[in-house]
Chains A and B, each alone.
Chain A
C-alpha cells in the first residue's frame, strides 16, 4: 500500500529536549516536505527536499532541521523545542514538479511544555 508514515503520532515533551519526528514514504517520490498546522493559520511549510541531499527552507523554518540521506526518509529534528512549536505536524511527498497530489502522513501532534 502506497503511504507516508510518521512516528510518533503523539508526543509530549519539555522545553529544550531534542526530538526527532520520522517520516518515510514507499512511493519513490523525489519531493518531500514538512508542514505545521496551527488553528486559524492553515498549514505552513517548514522545510522541503527535492531529492537526496537537497533540502531547503520553507516559510517557517526557524527552530527546525531536516536531513535527506535516503530517498524514502525525511526526518524533522527539533534541537531545542520550545512551547511555540506545539503544533500538528504533517509530512508529505509527491513526484517532483508534478501537479499530482501530495500524499500526506497521518500527522504528529506535538506538545512542548
Chain B
C-alpha cells in the first residue's frame, strides 16, 4: 500500500520568498510517479509537476521544482519567488507506474498563505 505524508497543515510565507512544501512517501513499488497538485479556493485541481521514480534529475516547471530524494523517500515542492496567487491548498500524490491499476494516493494537503 502507498502512503503520502504532508506534515505541514498550514504555512504563512512572505511574498517573494521561496517556499518548500514537505512530502514523504512510502511504497513497495519499484516504479512510481510523484505529483503535486494545487487547489485554489475555487476548488479545481491544477497539476503542477511530476517526478518519475527512475528520473535522475529533479523535475522543474517554471517557478516549481521538485526536490526528489529517493533514499529518504521525500518529494518536496519548492516554489521560488512566491506570489499572492500561490495561496492555495497543495497536495502531494503518488501513483504506481509499473502496470498496477492504482489511482493516485494523496496526502492530506498543506494550506499555503502568501502574505504581502
A106 within 8 A of B: yes
Note all chain A residues with C-beta closer than 8 A to B52.
99
B85 within 8 A of A: no
Q: A44-B106, A56-B101 are in contact. Are A101 and B44 (CB under 8 A)?
A: no
Q: A58-B103, A99-B97 are in contact. Are A41 and B108 (CB under 8 A)?
A: yes
Contact partner of B103 (CB less than 8 A), chosen from A40, A102, A103, is: A102
Interface members, chain B 90-107 (any A CB < 8 Å) = 91, 93, 95, 97-101, 103-107
Note all chain A residues with C-beta closer than 8 A to B106.
35, 42-44
Q: A41-B108, A48-B103, A58-B103 are in contact. Are A101 and B47 (CB under 8 A)?
A: yes
Cα distance A84–B109 in the bound complex, in angstroms: 21
A53 within 8 A of B: no
A99 and B50 contacting across the interface, CB-CB below 8 Å: yes
A104 and B103 contacting across the interface, CB-CB below 8 Å: no
A1 within 8 A of B: no
**A contact face: mostly helix, strand, loop, or mixed:** strand
Contact partner of B43 (CB less than 8 A), chosen from A45, A103, A106, is: A106
Cα distance A35–B105 in the bound complex, in angstroms: 10
Interface members, chain A 19-67 (any B CB < 8 Å) = 31, 33, 35, 40-45, 48, 50, 56, 58
On B, residues with C-beta under 8 Å from A are 4, 33, 35, 37, 43-45, 47, 50, 52, 91, 93, 95, 97-101, 103-109
Give the 4 A-B residue pairs with the shortest CB-CB distance, closest first: A104-B45, A99-B33, A42-B106, A101-B47
